[in-house]
Structure 1
Amino acid sequence: MDKLPKIGIPVLIIIIIAIIAIAKSAVTIDAGHAAVLYKTLGNGVDSEEAALQPGFHLIAPWNRVIDYETRLQEVPETMSVLSSNGLDIELDASVQYMPDINNLGRLHNEKGESYLKRVLQPAVRSAARSVVGRYTPEQLYSSKRDAIQNEIFEETKKIVEDQYIILERVLIRDVKLPPTIKQAIERKLKQEQESLEYEFRLVTAQKEAEKVRIEAQGKADANRILSASLTDKILQDKGIEATLKMSESPNSKVIVIGSGDSGLPIILGNQ
């Protein structure tokens, strides 16, 4: 009976160690994540080994996993850059990215878990400085924002494409200029808009005047052709025809045939 406690203690210790080992061996990777396996007794992370996918995994208890989020991520960036004329411009941007899951081991070994700060953010800032330096404040504020956004994206993509990072897009949310420069640009844009409106009204008035002139010219040409085609004989026949129609009216009247100018009938009375 005295030996039972001595036997039970080692067994209990073994059970506890086994439970701890199983707990450390069981790993669950969440959805939207992947992990690299760090082999403590080996050479660390094998760059050629495929990443652990979401789900349940069993690993050696002395190894550990390093988790990476593989979903599309977004990081805000506020950058101070110079325009083509040396003016200080502040860009408010967003960078959307994700790690290349097929090269997660290489990303970990070469860049580490802080790849965002080590690679992506410096690349975006470098591209932004390069691109913005080609444009004036007015272009940055108004007409060229989409072009600048696309150029920053393309230049950043060239930098990170062989760094095991997938860049989805770079979005320029706001361009902040010094207040005096912003006000000057807004005044200029307003003047340009007013000038365009004035030119539109002027062109519209010119077109309307041209339309009236053409219509008047058409009427004048028609009258001239009509006048040239009318002879005394035609006018006399038309007058007689009109007189005959009037004579058919129920009102009593006296018609004197051939007593008017050019031999036209005269109508007397309308009783």
Structure 2
Amino acid sequence: MSSNQLQLPKAILPIIFLVIIAIILFSKSFVTIEAGQAGVLWKRFGGGVVIDEPALGEGFQVIAPWNKVYIYEVRRQESFEKMKVLSSNGLDIQLDASIWYQPKYAELGKLHQDIGEDYLNRILLPTIRSAARSVVGRYTPEQLYSSKRDAIQAEIFEESKKIINDQHILLDEILVRDVTLPSTIKEAIERKLKQEQESLEYEFRLVTADKEAQKQIIEAKGKAEANKILSASLTDKILQDKGIEATLELAKSPNSKVVIVGSSKDGLPLILGNN
């Protein structure tokens, strides 16, 4: 084996090393950002997180190999949360809620610098839990179970939004999907609501019956008044004239009859028929 053959591997080693380094640097220079994502650029020798430039958009991006890109989901996201809170009288209540949120695109660099990628657990969820405890603590279990669900949903959203807005996060909506009360409390509330419903139905029947009675009284009064007016208008003269008219009509009838001329006690002729 010649000396040249022995020296050849030693000459190739630096080249192989440089090729490996080049491949590594080359692979780190290209970043693919998927649909619905954006990238925050971190410069190792340029001041760290870039906050004065727009975030890197979707597609193929070329960066210096010593820099780094942090990928964020910028579409609306949903998180399901079960929260244990206390009502105004100290009873345990469980809220099942959906939270719709997304990072503010224009403030993505500040979000990464101030909070980081785990902003959901660091900022968003603790804020919503705190707001839920504060809001639910104002209501009784009866109110939470029946008529106040929409109200607490809106109040939790508004209180959370006040804190979240300056944290580079956009809170779109909070939906309270379910309110779970202790079983004994729930049963007591259901019994109470049933009794109230039965009471309302009974009161409705009483009101309906009273209205029907009032209607009948009004109708009876109306008929009595009409009869009174009619009686007052029927004078003796009118009755006599009506009797004469009726007698004349009867006299025209072809049926056999006997007419007695004179007057009855009412001063009317008497007609006696044989039929």
Q: What is the TM-score with the length of structure 2 in the denominator? A: 0.87
Does 1:173 find its partner at 2:177?
yes
Structure 1 partner of 2:90: 86
Structure 2 partner of 1:114: 118
1:224 pairs with 223, 228, 231, which one? 228
Q: Compute the RMSD of aligned alpha carbons.
A: 2.7
1:60 pairs with 46, 64, 67, which one? 64
Uncovered stretches (5+) of structure 1, i.e. residues with no partner: none
Q: Which moved more, 1:176-185 or 1:48-57?
A: 48-57
Retained in 2: the 8 A contact 1:257–1:264?
no
Q: 1:93 to 1:263 in 2, by over 3 A?
A: same
| 2:216 counterpart letter in structure 1 | V
Q: 1:226 to 1:115 in 2, by over 3 A?
A: same
Q: What is the TM-score with the length of structure 1 in the denominator? A: 0.89
Q: Report % sequence identity.
A: 67
Separation in 2 of the partners of 1:180 and 1:26? Answer: 61
Separation in 2 of the partners of 1:235 and 1:124? Answer: 91
1:32-59 CA-partner distances (Å, limit 9, x unpaired): 1111012233332122221112233222
Does 1:269 find its partner at 2:273?
yes
Structure 2 partner of 1:128: 132
Give 4+ residue runs of structure 1 displaced > 4 Å after superposition.
Answer: 5-23, 246-259
Separation in 2 of the partners of 1:20 and 1:210? Answer: 96
Uncovered stretches (5+) of structure 2, i.e. residues with no partner: none
Separation in 2 of the partners of 1:125 and 1:53? Answer: 33
Structure 2 partner of 1:182: 186
Q: Secondary structure at the match of 2:28?
A: helix
Separation in 2 of the partners of 1:257 and 1:225? Answer: 34
2:198 pairs with 160, 182, 194, which one? 194
1:91-138 CA-partner distances (Å, limit 9, x unpaired): 111111110111000000110000000000000000011111111110
Aligned residues: 269
The structural deviation recorded for 1:141 is 0.7
| 2:97 counterpart letter in structure 1 | A
Structure 2 partner of 1:38: 42
Retained in 2: the 8 A contact 1:89–1:175?
yes
Structure 2 partner of 1:144: 148
